[in-house]
Amino acid sequence: MASAKLTRLAGIRSQLTYEQHQLAVHRLTALGPGTTVPNPSDPAQEALEWWIMLCCAWPSEPVVAPFGFERVSPTPTGLHIELAATPAYRHWFVSTVLPSASPDGEITGIPGLRTDRDPTGAPVLRLAGSTANVVLRGIPAQQWRTLTTDFEAELRSAGHHPLWNTGPATAEETRNQAWFAPATAGPRPHWLGSGLLRRVGVFTAAGVPALVTGWTTAGTIADCWKFDLEFIPGHRLDHDRLAALLTDPAAGLPMRVSGHECRESGAPRCRLQLVAADGRPGAVELLFRHTEEAVINAWETRWPEEFALIRQAGRQTEPQP
């Protein structure tokens, strides 16, 4: 029987990862005391997760789970991600993360990303020249082959060259991996993007958004992120719960709240800002706003199944008065 402390920590981990409670208990037992959501033990693993977060933080359409990540299972040496099941989303994911080169050599997708399969046949995303890996759960092998084959055909018809099955990273991919020129800016930190991906459940902690998009702050070496969370009008938000979960001493990130402001005139919106508590360069800014009813109605007309789930999830997580 799990101890009261293990049960409590498993509950926190479940909120952050969307893992079922019993799986969270199993993972925590395997990790041993002192770790609830582990950080990557390898900088290459951290970099791979940062790139996935960067590429997927701006989804092409509303999905119930933030960025289309239904569940994550982090370990020190890897990460498992269960993707949203809709065919359109999975096609978008493949076209977003898999790398290719244009006729003039420009790289799109994650530079150095290569594909593999684990012993169960699940697709594995790897970073060339390293042991970094992300396993994609819930995608049958045949569906993955179809997705990648169709995307490869699209690329070749446009004169682009697929790279995800080509072996070592190309020289152009290696240059793109650095993000900033190491000679002038040093290596880019990846801790925060990776840490947020491993705790993706935090983006529904204040309430289930109709759409969440994110991006990094341009022109800075610090790992700084901004997120725009759009909600259905009338949905009451619990910013304090999100902040508490993100900064939880046992399972959150080493961050502290540096600013929190709300205004009700016009369209209600709130801004929550956090910075690294240990002096590292890094920050998160979250903007919460209720999107106009007309826009929500238009989205709901286009994506009725997704919004039925969003409304259902919103009712289930509505904070109590």
Q: How many residues does the chain have?
A: 321
Distance between CA atoms of residues 13 and 16, nearest Å = 5
Q: What is the per-residue pLDDT for 321? A: 45
pLDDT digits (tens, 9 = 90+) for 224-283: 999 999 998 888 889 999 999 999 999 999 999 999 998 765 455 899 999 999 888 889
- Could you tell me which of 10, 27, 9, 38 has the C-alpha nearest to residue 197? 38
pLDDT digits (tens, 9 = 90+) for 82-109: 999 888 999 999 999 999 999 998 999 9
pTM: 0.91
Least confident span in 53-57, 171-175, 210-214: 171-175
Q: What is the per-residue pLDDT for 182? A: 45
pLDDT digits (tens, 9 = 90+) for 185-203: 555 678 999 999 999 999 9
Contact 85, 138 (CB under 8 A): yes
